[in-house]
């Protein structure tokens, strides 16, 4: 037998069973479980987008002659013949879309890679050939590509968001001026793209005036709502199916232009149309993590007690839709700062609209803060772990709101014990193994505990099996499995007897699968549904906990005379607006959590890494990483282990490998493929030690779940740059850390 103890750790206190995920076998065997695998009625036609080769200017003409001559071409759609669409709005403006501008709405080009036409043909190859033969003429202007490009517009966040308030707690400048030690440093993070294995695809067909969309989505109810408005239809006449998602990371949360293109083509051709964005097109149709710059001043007194923290952050965004992450209010809650000021700015240029990508605000912001924490600890000659512990806090100092739980110190202890941190010689360059310079670094991981309203329907059958229905999503996380575990526990049924249906807009609404909210939100709705079901059968929680719970359920169902027992739960987090459930059923977005007015809710972790840098070539390897995390109730230590490990690997890749390069003159992404956009491969992946630290939080939601999807890739980059400094004495403050920066 294989040793599963590492991948499927035994549960500790407040953890569920490490059962294998429901779809494990199908995934390993290549089962047809993704939306583009679903059968459609009739013969599919294939659509291909033609995208702009310039970043700014306009289309002057389109010559279709050669394209039309390709055998099997069925349709060419441009801004000249695109049928009418309803108005759309981005998340920023309360809508569901990546951008505020409809597709093919005119000749104006706002970014490179903007769709300018769609070709549909009998075959995939025919559509591709015709797309390449479409001659698009442009009048190009000089675009603003990124920070420091001529023509960018820099604005304080308040100019685009009237509700934005800079962070201000006491007098940070005065506190910094009186500090015994201080760090003044600038940090920057690059453009990154989600690059899920599964591409952005949409298959659309019409059935008696109703639209069916097979599209990988993090939010099927939101997609239904947005697509219906765009197609000027009743929401009930649109159905979205997305049973499993092959990676999303934020890129499949907001609606892209491809959905309407496929729907329009299918309507006109009266047959199913499949549109798959190429890997390169995926770089511009669904946003990306935008590049950021940070200027931090951080000070402490002679004993190491933090005094002042000043953080200015600039993020790049588009002109049309200035999507932004902000998020400095979360940073301000992290430590016992004596005084804080934080300012956000946006810098706009001629680029596609960015959108959320895994831990959108925290990855860059906490990288900058944790880097400054490491630098200040070194300046004060204090061990970085001890330095964090002495500045720990139980409240968000800026508003006094207490943490519902915060087990970061236990995480530090667990990580340090496993890593052997006490053997670290603090002197940079002091640890060496032959040609290899060894560096040890650490940083805190954190992510706000966020939640959203959710519904869930539970059906109990006479044969003792149950069914759960909720339009939540499994983006690779194990959501089906933990849903069954939650219901199984609440009803006293073995999870193997529970079937779960998700990823279909016909099911009761679940929240967007983003912001690490799914487990907290969906298990709460399931518990509510189970409680209602028990009550309707005259049973109590004690009946469900009894050793003969299955018999009690069966007897109660028989007594009721009903063929099945059903109940629909609906749950909204504390602090949600009164109409949260209505908004849920309306396909809306309601988020609660993080640094709130009354409560401060975050999950935490501690990460330690070893880097080895070749003394001659400066090649960087990471042989081992340790992460210890506490995130309230862990539903399933096996799926949780995978998520934590995947996050740490991504965090490492994000520090050392990942960056989208841009042509500064043309504002084009130059490595828009996964040969040149570097992600970690097996040989890059070290020994990853994941430790789950038990934590109980009774305040956040029914089961006390914090959510872990985005926790473990936060802070990793700061741990790596600290280890690079420890090995070489060189501080790299501009990610990713590539060889040229440490020569
Ligand atoms: Mo993820 S960036 O929370 O969709």
Residue to mutate, 217, 355, 365, 515, ligand 1, most ligand atoms under 8 Å from C-beta = 515
Tell me the CB-side half-sphere exposure of residue 592, using CA atoms within 13 A. 20
Q: Is the pLDDT of residue 5 over 90?
A: no
Annotated active-site residue in 362, 489, 658, 710: 710
- What's the confidence (pLDDT) of residue 3? 66
CA of 116 to the centre of ligand 1 (A): 28
What is the 3-class SS of 22-49, one letter each residue? CCHHHHHCCCCCCHHHCCCCCCCEEEEE
Q: Average pLDDT, stretch 220-237?
A: 98
CA of 646 to the centre of ligand 1 (A): 15
pTM over 0.95: yes
Residue to mutate, 251, 256, 289, 514, ligand 1, most ligand atoms under 8 Å from C-beta = 514
What is the 3-class SS of 256-291, one letter each residue? CCHHHHHHHHHHHHCCCEEEECCHHHHHHHCCCECC
For residue 2, name the pLDDT band (cuts at 50, 70, 90): low
For residue 463, name the pLDDT band (cuts at 50, 70, 90): very high
Residue 52's CB is within 10 A of a number of other CB atoms, namely 23
- Residues of the chain with pLDDT > 70, as a percent, come to 100
Q: What's the rounded Cα separation, in Å, for the pair 110 and 51? A: 12
Residue to mutate, 324, 356, 474, ligand 1, most ligand atoms under 8 Å from C-beta = 356
For residue 4, name the pLDDT band (cuts at 50, 70, 90): confident
Residue to mutate, 250, 647, 708, ligand 1, most ligand atoms under 8 Å from C-beta = 250
CA of 516 to the centre of ligand 1 (A): 7
Q: Say which CATH architecture domain 1-31+399-451+596-743 belongs to.
A: 2-Layer Sandwich (3.30)
Q: Average pLDDT, stretch 84-111?
A: 96
Considering only the top CATH level, what class is 453-590? Answer: alpha beta
Ligand 1 pocket, residue 515 CB under 6 Å: yes
Ligand 1 pocket, residue 218 CB under 6 Å: yes
CA of 354 to the centre of ligand 1 (A): 13
Q: Where are the beta strands (DSSP E) in 31-114?
A: 45-51, 57-63, 73-78, 108-109
CA dihedral 727, 729, 735, 740 (to 10 degrees): -90
- What's the confidence (pLDDT) of residue 1? 46
- What's the confidence (pLDDT) of residue 407? 98
Q: Where in the chain is the domain with CATH 3.30.365.10?
A: 1-31+399-451+596-743, 453-590
Ligand 1 pocket, residue 253 CB under 6 Å: yes
Q: Using CA of residue 188, residue 186, residue 389, residue 632, what is the dihedral sign?
A: negative
CA of 359 to the centre of ligand 1 (A): 6
CA of 92 to the centre of ligand 1 (A): 15
Q: What's the rounded Cα separation, in Å, for the pair 471 and 159? A: 37
Q: Which ranges constitute the DSSP H helices of 616-688?
A: 637-656
What is the position in ligand 1's atom list of the atom closest to the CA of 516?
A: 3
CA of 429 to the centre of ligand 1 (A): 38
Q: What's the rounded Cα separation, in Å, for the pair 493 and 465? A: 8
Q: How many residues does the chain have?
A: 743
Give the tens place of pLDDT for each residue, 81-90. 999 999 999 9
Q: Are 33 and 21 in contact (CB under 8 A)?
A: no
Q: Average pLDDT, stretch 666-675?
A: 97
CA of 726 to the centre of ligand 1 (A): 32
Ligand 1 pocket, residue 357 CB under 6 Å: yes
Give the tens place of pLDDT for each residue, 530-586. 999 999 999 999 999 999 999 999 999 999 999 999 999 999 999 999 999 999 999
What is the position in ligand 1's atom list of the atom closest to the CA of 253?
A: 4
Give the tens place of pLDDT for each residue, 27-56. 999 999 999 999 999 999 999 999 999 999
Q: What's the rounded Cα separation, in Å, for the pair 103 and 111? A: 13
What is the position in ligand 1's atom list of the atom closest to the CA of 252?
A: 4
Q: What's the rounded Cα separation, in Å, for the pair 137 and 69? A: 19
Q: Which residue has the tokens 């772990």?
A: 385
What is the position in ligand 1's atom list of the atom closest to the CA of 248?
A: 4
Is 710 a residue of the active site? yes
Q: Atom 4 (ligand 1): residue with closest C-alpha? A: 250
Ligand 1 pocket, residue 514 CB under 6 Å: yes
Ligand 1 pocket, residue 250 CB under 6 Å: yes
């Amino acid at each position: 037998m294989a040793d599963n103890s590492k991948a499927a750790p035994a549960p500790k206190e407040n953890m569920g069973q490490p059962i294998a995920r429901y779809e494990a076998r199908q995934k390993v065997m290549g089962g047809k479980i993704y939306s583009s695998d679903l059968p459609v009625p009739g013969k599919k036609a294939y659509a291909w987008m033609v995208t702009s080769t310039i970043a700014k200017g306009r289309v002057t003409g389109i010559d279709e002659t050669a394209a039309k001559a390709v055998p099997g071409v069925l349709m060419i759609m441009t801004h000249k013949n695109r049928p009418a669409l309803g108005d759309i709005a981005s998340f920023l403006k309360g809508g569901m879309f990546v951008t505020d501008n409809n597709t093919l709405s005119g000749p104006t080009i706002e970014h490179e890679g903007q769709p300018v036409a769609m070709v549909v043909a009998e075959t995939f190859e025919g559509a591709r050939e015709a797309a390449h033969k479409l001659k698009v003429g442009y009048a190009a202007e000089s675009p603003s590509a990124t920070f420091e490009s001529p023509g960018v517009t820099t604005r304080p966040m308040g100019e685009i968001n009237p509700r934005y308030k800079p962070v201000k707690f006491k007098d940070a400048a005065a506190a910094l001026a009186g500090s015994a030690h201080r760090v003044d440093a600038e940090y920057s993070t690059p453009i990154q793209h989600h690059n899920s294995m599964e591409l952005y695809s949409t298959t659309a067909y019409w059935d008696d005036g109703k639209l069916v969309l097979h599209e990988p989505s993090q939010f099927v109810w939101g997609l239904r709502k947005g697509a219906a408005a765009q197609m000027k239809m009743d929401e009930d006449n649109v159905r979205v199916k997305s049973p499993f998602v092959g990676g999303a990371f934020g890129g499949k949360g907001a609606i892209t232009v491809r959905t309407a293109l496929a729907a329009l083509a299918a309507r006109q051709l009266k047959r199913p149309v499949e549109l798959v964005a190429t890997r390169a097109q995926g770089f511009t149709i669904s946003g990306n993590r935008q590049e950021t710059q940070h200027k931090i001043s951080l000070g402490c007194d002679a004993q190491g007690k933090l005094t002042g923290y000043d953080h200015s952050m600039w993020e790049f965004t588009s002109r049309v839709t200035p999507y932004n992450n902000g998020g400095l209010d979360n940073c301000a809650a992290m430590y016992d700062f004596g005084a804080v000021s934080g300012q956000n700015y946006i810098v706009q240029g001629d680029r596609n609209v960015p959108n959320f990508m895994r831990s959108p605000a925290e990855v860059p912001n906490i990288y900058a803060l944790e880097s400054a924490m490491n630098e200040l600890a070194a300046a004060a000659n204090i061990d970085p772990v001890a330095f964090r512990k002495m500045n720990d806090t139980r409240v968000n100092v800026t508003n006094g709101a207490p943490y519902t739980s915060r087990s970061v110190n236990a995480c530090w202890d667990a990580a340090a014990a496993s890593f052997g941190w006490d053997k670290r010689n603090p002197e940079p360059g002091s640890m060496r193994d032959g040609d290899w310079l060894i560096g040890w670094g650490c940083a805190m991981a954190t992510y706000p505990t966020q939640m959203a309203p959710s519904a869930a329907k539970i059906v109990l059958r006479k044969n003792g099996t149950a069914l759960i229905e909720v339009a939540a999503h499994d983006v690779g996380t194990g959501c089906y499995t933990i849903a069954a575990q939650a219901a199984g526990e609440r009803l006293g049924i073995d999870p193997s007897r529970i079937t779960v249906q998700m990823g279909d807009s016909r099911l009761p609404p679940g929240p967007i699968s983003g912001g690490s909210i799914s487990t907290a939100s969906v298990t709460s709705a399931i518990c509510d549904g189970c409680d209602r079901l028990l009550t309707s059968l005259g049973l109590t929680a004690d009946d469900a906990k009894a050793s003969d719970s299955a018999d009690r359920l069966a007897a109660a169902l028989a007594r009721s005379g009903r063929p099945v027992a059903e109940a629909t739960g609906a749950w909204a987090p504390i602090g949600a607006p009164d109409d949260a459930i209505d908004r849920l059923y309306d396909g809306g977005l309601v988020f609660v959590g993080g640094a709130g007015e009354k409560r401060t809710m975050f999950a935490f972790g501690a990460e330690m890494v070893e880097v080895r840098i070749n003394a001659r070539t400066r090649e960087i390897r990471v042989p081992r990483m340790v992460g210890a995390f506490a995130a309230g109730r862990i539903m399933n230590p096996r799926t949780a282990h995978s998520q934590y490990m995947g996050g740490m690997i991504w965090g490492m890749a994000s520090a050392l490998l990942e960056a989208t390069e841009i042509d500064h003159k043309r504002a084009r992404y130059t490595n828009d493929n996964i040969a040149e956009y570097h992600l970690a491969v097996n040989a890059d992946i070290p020994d990853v030690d994941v430790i789950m630290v038990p934590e109980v939080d009774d305040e956040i939601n029914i089961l006390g779940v914090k959510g872990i999807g985005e926790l473990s890739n936060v802070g990793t980059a700061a741990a790596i740059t600290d280890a690079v400094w420890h090995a070489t004495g060189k501080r790299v403050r501009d990610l990713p850390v590539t060889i040229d920066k440490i020569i």
